[in-house]
Chain A
Amino acid sequence: MYHYEEPSLSQSARQNFVKKVYAIISMQLSVTIAFVWLNFYFKSFARFQRDNTWTFWLAFIGSLISLVSLCTYLVT
Chain B
Amino acid sequence: MYLFSNLVFGKISRSTPINYVMISVFTLCESYLVSFLCSMYTASSVLLSASATLAATIGLTYYAMTTKEDFTTFRFIGKGIISSVIWIALTVSLINLFFIRSSIITMGIAALFAVIYSVYILIDTQMILGGRHNQVQLDDYILGATVLYVDIISLFLKLLQLLGKKKDD
- The answer to whether A binds B is yes
Please list the residues of chain A having a beta carbon within 8 angstroms of any beta carbon in chain B: 1-5, 7, 9, 13-14, 17-18, 20-22, 24-25, 27-29, 31-36, 38-40, 46, 49-50, 55-56, 59-60, 62-63, 66-67, 69-76
Residue from B13, B34, B145 within 8 A of A32 (CB atoms): B34
Near A by CB (< 8 A), chain B positions 57-83 give: none
| Chain B, interface residues (CB within 8 Å), range | 35 or more
Give bound CA distance, A51 to B25, whole Å. Answer: 23
Tell me the smallest distance from the CB of B152 to a CB of chain A, in Å.
7
CB pair B131 A14 closer than 8 Å: yes
25 contacts between A and B (CB under 8 A): A1-B140, A2-B134, A13-B138, A17-B138, A18-B128, A24-B23, A24-B149, A28-B27, A29-B152, A31-B31, A32-B31, A32-B34, A35-B35, A36-B38, A40-B46, A56-B32, A66-B23, A66-B25, A66-B26, A69-B22, A70-B13, A70-B22, A73-B10, A74-B12, A76-B9
